[in-house]
Structure 1
Amino acid sequence: MKNIFTNYKTLALALLVSLSGCNNILEPAPRLDISSEQAITDKRGAEAALLGAYSELQSNSYYGFEYPALAYLSADEVDWSGSYNFYQQFDLNAIPAENSSIKSVWAQIYRVINVANTIIEKVPAIQDRSLTDAQRQTILGEAYFLRALSYFDLGRAWGGVPLVLQPTTNKTSGKGIKRSTLEQTYEQVLADLEQAETLLPALTVRSRASKEAVWALKARLYLYQQQWAKAEEYATLVIGSGNAKLVKPYSAIYTGKLTEESILELAYDNADRNAHANYWLPSSKGGRYEWKPSASITADLQNTAVGGARSALIGSQVNNGKEIVYGQKYSKIGTGDDGAFVLRLAEQYLIRAEARLKQSNLSGGLADLNTVRERADLAPLAATDTGAALLAVELERKVELAFEGHRWFDLIRTGRAAAVLGITDPNKFRFPIPNSEILADPDLDPADQNPGY
């Protein structure tokens, strides 16, 4: 983790950045000239640190752009059509360990972890009468959740990773931390979610972690681990809480902000911009048009029996006599305030549908699948075969969660990547650990690199 060690000064800024996407909770001007030890000594410092963690989560090197982009470029959702060949490498599933985007995303996720680690270490010791026990618990709960989310995202993209659980404040911090297995990484995710679940309140602010966000991420984690009963249990808790609802029309999810469907959505504005639209939109709309919806997903979305109302995700125009298509989930290029959809309710219905089908509950699985289809103005399916129903859930996830970064990971976890994407080398199912990390970290060596790189 040498890049984290050498970038520890990022922490001082991260602790003090005001996060406009979190309702401007920190109003006073930030103090940029104090150390992290001084910063988290009172309520104000603790709140500033937490906002810093969300700011790092929103970064364009994480949920603000690159993490979901690298996933949808790697799957069959998107075709590269631009000039940045380091993104083309994901479209071709030919990623070198020197790829600059791999390096930036890896480092950015660990920045979130570093700030969360600092909060977890320092907030319990704060002595400030203005910081109530409930506020302290919520701050800690959000930090545990953000660390869990970060390690989950690292695990599904890279496999097992070094588990850094203490703040990295200097060049020797974290010495001796080896790479963990994927199982150990997911165990840490679950441990952090267990802590967060006891500390967080119910969902009220959709841009912040909540008890429902914990349940939703637990449901997703258990789905990846093929623990079907647990996945169903926690998806049911989210759905049954009543604090999130499917919204209509489908386009309201992304044309609006922080709709009732969002369990955790990162909100942006003109000062804190989401970069997606610049890469999706054609030049006539102010974008670079670096990539476009694939022919496969365009056909599915425009198929009235599959896409339904989700056909709104595809835009088109004629350039020099030729029609071009582009994605519209991220289109607010003027304001940069497209949301980042980390957790939303439709996914929970589809998690429960898949989990129920895997437990031979065909009627229950179809009921959840059809709830999502109904919102998209589609007729219910009446499959009589569990295998066919599971393929229907796979297709539904493709179109319902399009361009949000799920498809690549779905095909890997279900063992369907080879059949769907035609990738015969299973080594390509993991991203390479950045070569710079292997070279710089004395606790990593070439043998720790993912196979095939």
Structure 2
Amino acid sequence: MNNKIKYLLIALVTIPILSCQEDFLERTPTDAISAADALANEDNMQLVLNGVHRGLFSQSQTVFPGGDSGRANNHYWVPLGDNLTGDLIHSANANNLSWRSAMQWNEHSQPTSLTSRLLWYHRYNIILHANLLINEIESGSLTETDGLNTILGQAYTYRAYAYLSLVQHYAKGYLIGNPSTDPGVPLLYSSESPFTSEPRSTVQEIYDQIGGDLEAAIAAFEAAGATDSVSGASASEKSQLTIDVAQGLKARWALSKGDWQTAADAAAEARIGYPLLDESGWKSGFNTNELSEVMWGSNVISTETTFFRAYFYLASNTFNGSQIRNNPKIADRRLVDAIPDSDYRKDVFLPDAPNTNTSASNGEGGWDNNTNPKYSTEEEFDAATDSIKSVYGLVSGHNLHPYMHFKLKQANPGSTDPDDIIYMRSSEMYLIEAEAELMMNNLGAAKQALQPLAEARNSEWDMDDYATEGEFFEHLKFQWRVEMWGEGFGYTNHIRWDEGVDHAADGGSGASEVLYQQSYQIDKPSVNDDWVFKIPQAEIDANPNLGPGDQN
């Protein structure tokens, strides 16, 4: 990597270990634990792995020098996918953590932005630690055990996860470009200084690396005697990566590259043991890994001071922070209005919520500007406001807005508590399998793949309502958007489907053109290179293998 990152990564080897178990430090008299000590035995390797787990959700400066308190890693990166595509809509002007700036496409499109820089460094941080573990275990210096193979499986899975994230953000989409020639991202193999990397490999080479890592991960888990997990695992247990997570990532990887059969098979295998949520579970807030569908997520520990850097601070209308109180997040009204009344997912969106925010971007906030005929008097307007705040645990300072959501709800609403971050659910696997089958022109199989999920959510769902592949594809995209709303899939879905953003079409989304500016209407990814993140300018400046011509 570049000179800057070389020095960052030297320190990175030690920080996660120190932060996870203090007595390890007490046994080591030096200020930093060497790589040799970190890899001396299986227990120490698990500490390294635990540090990577924690690094997924901690504030970035606590994981590596040169980070920044403005990002708590996946607390930001997960909802960013829906923030960029206008699925998670801002109702008012608020820019804490550059969340508005990111929504307006003024972050990822700038090579000097914090967003472009920290996503890059965080993913390479994961790759470094994966390399550290993989290189040592594969050297054969330690006795093979089930525990060691489990660590190896997690390391390979992490490396695949990081490269998939990098290539999907910093390179052109596989299905809309020319993977064999499109520049991807640098490959990093080393685990010790000087951490030199390759030049930018092609998109195809990165995808091949990911595929190889996932196969190696699955083989390692199988060597450890891994079987399909069960949904009753604890929140902390689900922060560990399993063979199911590797299969789930394989399904994502294959879907994004058009390897439809592999995607369908991997998705069907991955979801075994993770039963679909019932209505009460689905409406409970998606704030814990303990939900039956959750295959993988970060179990956010209370001592990690994310708070006003948290996922729910950016996306959940129950969080007691100014980003939410002043700017309640809403869903696209075209999507919400299309949800049938027989589908209980509609209940988490409030189309008729009073607009109490006099700073709302649509200029309709407060009783004096009320346009909803449901409230004919100020008393009715105020009563509805009080009722919603009481039901959902909001504080007096929380504003309301039509089409606000309560899909993401804190376990302790009205607080600043950061909850778990969910990365993978079995619902996604049903959607992947259905899409893959449809892309293979297997309409009947696609309907059958979606049926368990669709019927679980909508008591009146009928596969016979969709007679053609085109009709079913539009319905499947609708199911993706409703089921996974707020969980960050908007960005990768838009790239895979080659769809732009249009808040004005079909009566409008409810977003304000004045607020959204250039992101109010965005051309589809195949004709608009702004969908590709800029490589950090610091990397371009310092990496001898990259030059100005490598910038996206």
Q: Same fold (TM over 0.5)?
A: yes
In 2: Cα distance, 1:307 partner to 1:152 partner: 37
Q: 1:14 to 1:302 in 2, by over 3 A?
A: farther
For 1:99 and 1:218, locate their aligned partners in 2 and report how far apart those are by CA, in whole Å.
31
Match of 1:339 among 420, 438, 452: 420
Report matched runs for 1:22-33 at 5 Å: 28=23, 30=25, 33=32
Equivalent positions of 1:42-441 (< 5 A) are 42-60=41-59, 61=71, 64-80=74-90, 81-84=93-96, 86-94=98-106, 95-124=109-138, 133-159=145-171, 160-167=184-191, 169-170=192-193, 172-174=194-196, 177-200=198-221, 201-204=226-229, 205-239=237-271, 242-249=272-279, 250-252=282-284, 254-272=286-304, 273=306, 275-281=310-316, 285-289=320-324, 292-296=328-332, 298-301=333-336, 303-305=338-340, 308-314=343-349, 318-319=356-357, 321=366, 323-324=400-401, 325=404, 328-332=407-411, 334=415, 336-381=417-462, 382-417=465-500, 422-424=521-523, 425-441=527-543
DSSP-derived class of the 1:93 partner: coil
Indicate the larger mover: 300-309 or 436-445.
Answer: 300-309
Deviates more, 1:43-52 or 1:251-260: 251-260
CA drift at 1:230: 1.3
User: Structure 2: how far apart are the matches of 1:306 and 1:154?
Assistant: 39
Aligned residues: 435
Residue 14 (structure 2) aligns with: 12
Cα 1:367–1:291, aligned 2, differ >3 Å: closer, same or farther?
A: farther
Q: 1:229 to 1:253 in 2, by over 3 A?
A: farther
Q: What secondary structure does 2:522 align onto?
A: coil
Distance 2:318 2:432 in 1: 37
Counterpart Cα distance in 2 of 1:396 and 1:38: 49
- Give the structure-1-normalised TM-score: 0.87
* Alignment CA distance shift 1:283-1:138 (3 Å): closer
Larger Rg: 2
SS at match of 1:404: coil
C-alpha separation in 2, matches of 1:409 and 1:72: 9
Distance 1:269 1:56, change over 3 A: closer
Q: 1:21 maps to what in 2? A: none
C-alpha change, 1:284 and 1:403, in structure 2 (3 Å) is closer
- TM-fit CA distance, 1:229: 1.3
For residues 367 and 246 of structure 1, what CA distance do their matches in structure 2 show?
Answer: 16
CA displacement 1:273-328 (0-9 Å, x = unmatched): 471122235698344227544451x4524654189322354465644636423554
| Structure 1, gaps ≥5 residues long | 19-25
Q: Secondary structure at the match of 2:424?
A: strand
**Is residue 299–residue 421 contact of structure 2 (8 Å, CA) maintained in 1?**
yes
Cα 1:284–1:412 shift into 2, 3 Å: closer
Q: Which runs of 5+ in 2 are unaligned?
A: 60-70, 172-183, 230-236, 359-365, 368-399, 504-519
SS at match of 1:156: helix
CA gap of 1:291–1:412, structure 2 versus 1, over 3 A, is: farther
279-288 or 215-224, which deviates more:
279-288
The CA deviation at 1:110 is 0.9
Partner residue in 1 for 2:508: none
| SS class of match (1:408) | helix
Deviates more, 1:320-329 or 1:337-346: 320-329
The change in CA–CA distance for 1:330 and 1:202 in structure 2 (over 3 A counts) is farther
Write the distance in 2 (CA, Å) between the matches of 1:282 and 1:292.
6
Q: Deviations over 1:346-372 (max 9, x none)?
A: 000000111111122212212232322
Report the equivalent of 2:363.
Answer: none
The 8 Å contact of residues 329 and 403 in structure 1, kept in 2 or not, is answered as: yes
**Structure 1 range deviating more: 421-430 or 185-194:** 421-430
Counterpart amino acid of 1:192?
D
User: 1:209 is paired with a residue of what secondary structure?
Assistant: coil
SS at match of 1:271: coil
Give the TM-score of the pair, scaled to structure 2: 0.72
Provide the rounded CA distance (Å) in 2 between the counterparts of 1:380 and 1:259.
24
Quote the Cα distance in structure 2 between the aligned partners of 1:414 and 1:283.
32
> CA, structure 1 residues 13+27, in 2 after alignment: closer, same or farther (shift >3 Å)?
closer
Contact 1:15/1:115 (<8 A) preserved? no
SS at match of 2:19: coil
The amino acid that maps onto 1:35 is S
Do the aligned partners of residues 4 and 255 (structure 1) sit closer, same or farther apart at CA in structure 2, a change above 3 Å counting?
same
RMSD: 2.8
The answer to whether the 8 A contact 2:153-2:217 is kept is yes
CA deviation vs aligned residue, 1:110-131 (integer Å, no higher than 9, x gap): 1111111111122345766xx7
**Per the alignment, in what secondary structure is the counterpart of residue 390 of structure 1?**
helix
Q: CA distance change for structure 1 residues 5 and 429 in 2, over 3 Å: closer, same or farther?
A: same
CA-CA distance at 1:392 after TM superposition = 0.9
